Amino acid sequence: MASTISILFFLASFLLAPLPLQSADPDPLQDFCVGLINATESVNGFPCKPASAVTANDFSSDVIAYEGNTSNPFGSNVTGANAMAFPGLNTLGVSMNRIDLAPGGLNPPHSHPRATELDIVIEGTVTIGFVSTGNVFYSKVLRKGELFVVPRGLVHFERNIGKGKALIFAAFNGQMPGTVSIAPTLFGAKPPIPDAVLSKAFRVGTGVVDEIKSKFSS
């Protein structure tokens, strides 16, 4: 019961924020615009499904209802409920992620260029931190029911420091927050960023760069 109340309070406080903070996306011009995800053309969003074809099912989704598979090198799994996965969110300026973390699991440093993130811990003990544009690191140990906000576009991470599994729900004030994962972006880009650029930026030899790139080749 307490968990349910915490989640409802979290969602209400985020979605009912003052209008200037409510959405990073443009205001909609109609009640809703259920996205046609497979449309061949789109402009800053998805075209609308005809209103006559919309049903209550378009406004419901179980995409983040199930635990994600954390059997990977990071011990983490992020499941997104954005406008692509939940078309009913199209034009509404909100979305959510489910972040599952195994013991010791890490959601590696990344950023969301199009939205601010508000996290609530549902289970476990985690550390969440971000780095400001002034190169200041802010972090906090959080437990069940506690919140942490990450300003739009800043590099951040979530790490499970407890003995059991951890679960975080993250809300965004944008229908497609976007994710820039730092390491894969730099070392796994296609076509690749030149070794000389990364070598100079990180002040290491090209051999080190090539070794790191090999870990992100897939």
For 78-125, what is each residue's pLDDT tens digit? 999 999 999 999 999 999 999 999 999 999 999 999 999 999 999 999
Query: Binding site for Mn(2+): which residues?
Result: 110, 112, 117, 156
**pTM, 2 dp:** 0.86
Query: What does the alpha-carbon distance between residue 68 and residue 102 come to, in Å, rounded to a whole number?
Result: 10
Strand order in the sheet with 95-101: 76-81, 95-101, 166-172, 117-123, 147-150
Q: Is the pLDDT of residue 19 over 60?
A: no
Query: What does the alpha-carbon distance between residue 27 and residue 19 come to, in Å, rounded to a whole number?
Result: 10
Query: Binding site: which residues?
Result: 97, 107, 110, 112, 117, 156
Give me the percent of the chain exceeding a pLDDT of 70.
Answer: 86
Residues 142 and 128: beta-carbon distance below 8 Å: yes
The whole-angstrom distance between residue 189's C-alpha and the CA centroid of its chain comes to 20
Query: Binding site for oxalate: which residues?
Result: 97, 107, 112, 117
Q: Note the pLDDT tens digit of each residue in 156-182.
A: 999 999 999 999 999 999 999 999 999
